[in-house]
Amino acid sequence: MKRVGLVLILLAGAWGWYERQALADFPGILSAYSAKEYCSCRYVMNFDPRYCRGYVQQYLPLSRLDEDAQQRLISAEGLGVISQAQWQGPHVGCRLLP
Number of domains making up the chain: 1
pTM score of the predicted model = 0.80
pLDDT band (50, 70, 90) for residue 32:
very high
- Whether 83 maps to a domain, the answer reads yes
Read off φ and ψ for residue 86, nearest 5 degrees. Answer: -135, 140
- Whether 8 maps to a domain, the answer reads no
Domain that holds residue 67: 27-96
Q: For the segment 46-58, what is each residue's pLDDT rounded down to a tens digit? A: 999 999 999 998 8
- Whether 19 maps to a domain, the answer reads no
Exposed/middle/buried for residue 47 (C-beta within 10 Å: 0-12, 13-18, 19+): middle
